[in-house]
Amino acid sequence: MDGWNSMIRYYKNNFSDGFRQDSIDLFLGNYSVDELESHSPLSVPRDWKFLAPLYGDTWTETLAYVLFWGVASIGTFFIILYNGKDFVDAPRLVQKEKID
């Protein structure tokens, strides 16, 4: 568990806690807001690429991405549909009904 907790802490500290550190710095006074600055340093400029979920360098790359994940999703669906009962962890200690 120590390794797992360390891995989670590493991920959070490096990839998902930046906004928390910014708020702590503002609260403690480590950063002062410059009212003359035209834009906020906390805002992240986003391009139109962030609105497109399947952005690639070329349309063929995007098409290959869509086809791959579409075939993988449909294949997974049919595998689960065909072998669905094999994936269920049903209880094994089921009492049979008594026939009088």
The DSSP annotation for 30-58 comes to SS---TT-SS-TT-----GGGT-TT--SS
Q: What is the identity of the amino acid at 69? A: W
**Per-residue model confidence as pLDDT tens digits over 15-69:** 777 778 878 888 888 877 777 766 666 666 666 665 555 555 677 877 888 899 9
For residues 73-80, average pLDDT: 92
Inside any domain, residue 67? yes
Inside any domain, residue 92? no
Q: When comparing pLDDT for 97 and 4, which is higher?
A: 4
pLDDT band at 94 (very low <50, low <70, confident <90, very high): low
Per the structure, the complete domain to which residue 81 belongs is given by: 49-87
Residue 17 and residue 23 in contact, taking contact as beta carbons nearer than 8 Å: no
What pLDDT was estimated at residue 70? 95
pTM over 0.95: no
Number of domains in the chain: 2
Which residues are CB-neighbours of 65 under 8 A, at least 6 positions away? 54, 56
Inside any domain, residue 81? yes
Inside any domain, residue 26? yes
Q: When comparing pLDDT for 34 and 82, which is higher?
A: 82
